[in-house]
């Protein structure tokens, strides 16, 4: 059932990868499996926190309306909020711009025992900056190399890295933008920048293709997830996350002190 991201070639073309679930899937069965995995993720986070030897960094990227916010809400719905640190990266501040481009990401990394979620991330400095003309191609390549080194350093120091690109089609993006425009409860989500970035849809997709291929590595691989259907997107994300945490083979820590029930005062 799980959508597998293929080995990503240097000439990766996201426009050739699916944005919808494979045909023939049992939607009801997928949703049931998703419910079970959401609860499993909550249990695994408790184990992660109890052991405090590792942390998990989840990097969420995708074009506008790909579902970054809603995937956080659905995938982590059963996890103890105290075990998650979510940070949404907006346009860099003056203080951010006075530092190296990884500075603001580094200071938001999850402590051991926690799951950290980057809603957008350091990758914006590699893709959005180049597409919008804030840096050139040579700078983009330098930043990609810095990101590779940065993520290898994180993994070597106990942080698991899961990177998701939520892959939405241009047609679905338009439908979701129209909903934001027509539904009064979603007006707050609609900005003029949505229209500006949509004008560059193909350019963004081309640039993301290059950056994903360049920064896809064994220590921190990318998962390109079909995101037109939310039920399938959530299933794949949960499968990847639970598999990653299960790979740690965690057990509950033993009692740290020699205490018996008789030692507990009445």
pLDDT band at 21 (very low <50, low <70, confident <90, very high): very high
CATH: 3.40.50.620, 3.40.50.300, 3.90.600.10, 3.30.465.10. Which one for 14-247? 3.40.50.300
Distance between CA atoms of residues 45 and 129, nearest Å: 34
Counting beta carbons within 10 angstroms of the beta carbon of residue 92, is it exposed (0 to 12), middle (13 to 18) or buried (19 or more)?
middle
Domain ranges within the chain, ordered by starting residue: 14-247
Residue 192 pLDDT class (50, 70, 90 cuts): confident
Assessment of whether the complete model's pTM goes beyond 0.85: yes
Q: How confident is the model over 141-149, as a mean pLDDT?
A: 97
pLDDT at res. 135? 93
pLDDT tens column, 35-71? 999 999 999 999 999 999 999 999 999 999 999 999 9
Residue 102: CB partners within 8 Å, gap ≥ 6?
Answer: 122, 146, 147, 150
pLDDT interval class at 17 (50, 70, 90): very high
DSSP summary character for residue 158: T
Lowest mean pLDDT: which of 28-32, 191-195, 222-226? 191-195
Q: Are 234 and 72 in contact (CB under 8 A)?
A: no
Closest CA to 49 of 101, 104, 102, 116: 116
pLDDT at 195 over 70: yes
Tally the residues of the chain: 266
Q: Give the gyration radius of the chain's Cα atoms.
A: 20
DSSP string spanning 76-98?
TTTS-GGGEEEEE--S--HHHHT
């Amino acid at each position: 059932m799980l959508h597998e991201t293929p080995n990503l070639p240097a000439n990766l073309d996201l426009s050739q990868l699916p944005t919808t679930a494979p045909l023939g899937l049992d939607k009801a069965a997928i949703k049931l499996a998703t419910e079970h995995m959401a609860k499993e993720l909550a249990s695994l986070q408790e184990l992660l926190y109890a052991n405090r030897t590792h942390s998990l960094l989840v990097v969420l990227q995708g074009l506008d309306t790909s579902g970054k916010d809603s995937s956080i809400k659905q995938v982590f719905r059963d996890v103890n909020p105290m075990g998650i640190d979510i940070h949404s990266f907006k346009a860099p501040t003056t203080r951010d711009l006075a530092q190296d481009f990884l500075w603001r990401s580094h200071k938001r990394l999850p402590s051991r025992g926690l799951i950290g979620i980057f809603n957008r991330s350091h990758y914006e400095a590699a893709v959005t900056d180049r597409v919008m003309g804030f840096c050139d191609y040579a700078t983009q390549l330098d930043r990609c190399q810095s990101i590779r080194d940065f993520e290898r350093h994180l993994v070597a120091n106990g942080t698991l890295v899961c990177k998701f690109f939520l892959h939405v089609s241009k047609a679905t993006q338009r439908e979701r933008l129209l909903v934001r425009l027509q539904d009064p409860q979603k007006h707050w989500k609609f900005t003029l920048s949505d229209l500006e970035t949509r004008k560059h849809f193909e350019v963004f997709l081309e640039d993301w293709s290059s950056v994903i291929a360049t920064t896809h590595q064994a220590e921190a691989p990318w998962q390109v997830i079909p995101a037109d259907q939310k039920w399938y997107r959530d299933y794949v994300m949960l499968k990847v996350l639970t598999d990653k945490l299960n790979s740690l083979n965690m057990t509950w820590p033993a009692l740290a002190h020699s205490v018996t029930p008789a030692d507990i005062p009445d």
